[in-house]
Structure 1
Amino acid sequence: MSKTIMYIAGFFLSFLILFSLPNNTRASTVPLSQGTTPEIATKNAAALQNAINQASTSGKKQVTLPAGTFYINGKIILKSHLVLQGASLSPAATKLTMNNAPMTTDTTATSQEPTTDITLQNFTLQYNPNMSKYNYLTNPTNFYKDNLLNIGQITPSENNTGYNPTHKKALKTNIKITNMILNANQVGLAVVNIAKADNVTINQTQILNSGLQNGISMTHTSNIKITNNTVKNIGRAGIVQYYGNTKSLINGNKVIDWMQRYGSYHYDAVKKSGQTLDSMQDAAIDSYGPANQTTTITNNQINLSAASGKVNPNNPLIAKKWHLKTVPNYTRYAAFRASGAQYMLYQGNTVNIDSPSTFTFFSTNMRKSNTLTRPKGITVIGNRFTSRNID
């Protein structure tokens, strides 16, 4: 009899403990289906969006993805108060494959929605590698123009007026991206876009294979921490601050193979506009400017994976398309650029760019767009710069 009472008591104790745990520890796994058909991809999108919406509104918070590869039709809109995570600590175990739209914090291309308290961790987010992508010789039109992951955005009207923001205050706050694989598979624009945001962390994440734009782009942000990531095979700059960024930390990252695709596109755009052809040299870690201030850039490693003495891949493509007798030195490598930047620290970084397409290790200049920013308070100390070829 006593044993029966003990079993019953133990059962009720376990029951009470289970239901006294915080809600976010009891998150169920999203019912996603494997398969590549449009019907499955559409069903997966609805199931995932529904789980995100419910978590945000109910306080459940945690949404767990199953192991496997799952195709998604349409955009996935992130909501406040959300932890979206993979099935295990291995980000390769769960793959969300976006067929035709990004994962984003905004419903439309013009919406300005405040969003806070989001964590993405332990899964792969990628564009479908079979999506049509920019190819300079065979498919020169960049018809798909979106990033893989949008944390905020600059609207088309703001873009057309020189990034003059309609809302200057941060609309996206307290965002954390950790232990992820973000792979654009050379589709679209940037891998990660951050705009009008405060307190965003990207840590221990692989940022791979952007389309024509950057690995990580920032515009009108503050307190961004980009630490211990690998940024590789990037169409334009590896990590770039566009306009109005302050109090950023870029530390311990590996940036490998940037300026892999955008230079040829830029050559065509300049040539067709009738402007004078000069060169294209966005940096591995770049301040495009103006009004970028108080950034710490430390202990990063920057290098090319190609064999020594190899030119930037855009240049022979330009020569082939335009029937040039010699390969132009148009697209060139720079490690750091501090355009329109003030109060910047570059320290403890290691750079090895062994290519005749190398332009410079470090450059700075003034930049104007709505405001003029002259370089000021820039410290470059204790770095190691190596190249057997430099222009």
Structure 2
Amino acid sequence: MKKILIYTDAFRGNIIPTLGISEKLHQMGVHVHYMGIPDVTEIISDTSFPSTTIFGDYYPKGSQYIAGKINANIIRSIINGGLDELIYELNPTAIIFTAYNPIEAATFYLKYKLKTFLLYCHFPIDNDFSKISFTEKIKEWSINMLMDDANLESTNILINFLIDQGYAINSLNDIMAIFENFNNIIPASKDFLTENAIISENDMYVGSCIPEYNIFHLHYDMDKLDSELSEQKKSGKMIIYCSLGSWADQIDKEKAQQITQTLINSFRQESMKDYILNISVGNLFEDYQSHASDTIRIHQWLPQMAMLKHSDMAIIHGGMGGVKECIMNEIPMIVIPLGLDQFENADRIAAHQLGVKIDAYALNDIEITSIINRLQNNTEIKNNLFKMKSSFEKASESDAWTKFNPQTLTTK
């Protein structure tokens, strides 16, 4: 049986699509084995997929992670053969790296010459709307990562290793040439893009990659939640789900608090008596739990896919995971971006008329109630959601998956 390694970072939004891909690969007859730092393998231990913990000395359990920060010790360890024994034992045919590990991927490729896939769970930030191929976008994004002052040590280690491997390095573009050997997995449909991007032979648009088995729901009493939501449905009121994501207080706590308070104030109005707001406030729970009422249900965390199956509308921050889950459930979105790739995603939601984008600082009680009322029976948005969902479903069955076919999957 062919074996594929998956090397994922610790960000939940990046782990979830790998699980969807792993399920699909398993159905295709491919053996999947995860490797990662302790916080990753602890999560994977709740699945049926095997995993091996690596680099625990550099990232002990409970570490803080910075997106785009490359750990020079990891680059050095890969080069010096720290994973030689493991790779020999597992004998993989290919490896998948997640979004924030492109430099680790390049080092790994140079060291072990494995067929390499890069999984980008969101579109590279700041250059999304150019018309170049996704491969070129990734090269630009990785160059920016290499040029970051915080990554200079890692960059120098990689350059020296490239030279040792016989590469002529005269510029950063020479370093990025290695990315032309990789396949780039995009868990989305190309139709979700707003630009007329070129598709290179290395780009793989593979659909939503939402796993059937969601390990992040394990700690919820799903029967109790289903019962509560069924009772809410019986009331005849519109159910609105809201989440600003698990990173909201870290991205911009003041903005997250402002949005949360404005939403609560909006749903207290008499004009909103026919709606029920189920809002997940994450680490801000202690600040807002006292605001709960019959029509405002305050939760610390909620299982998002389960909530969307019962909801009529969603208010979200615009991360790709939540956007895809809304599309696949055909739920109109009100997107209030906080940071990262959320602004570009919100622009796409607005451009495709799948919902409405709102600037957090322009948010007020009147605007939010007006938009909710406007979206409630908007058939055009419903039709657009149906079309986009169909496009994602088509992508999930695309020929791109043949690159993982056990009969043709080869190294290099």
Normalising by structure 2, we get a TM-score of: 0.25
Q: Judging by fraction of residues, say which structure has more strand.
A: 1
If you compute each CA radius of gyration, which structure gives the higher value, 1 or 2? 1
Higher relative contact order (CA 8 A, sep 6+): 2
Normalising by structure 1, we get a TM-score of: 0.26
Q: Judging by fraction of residues, say which structure has more helix.
A: 2
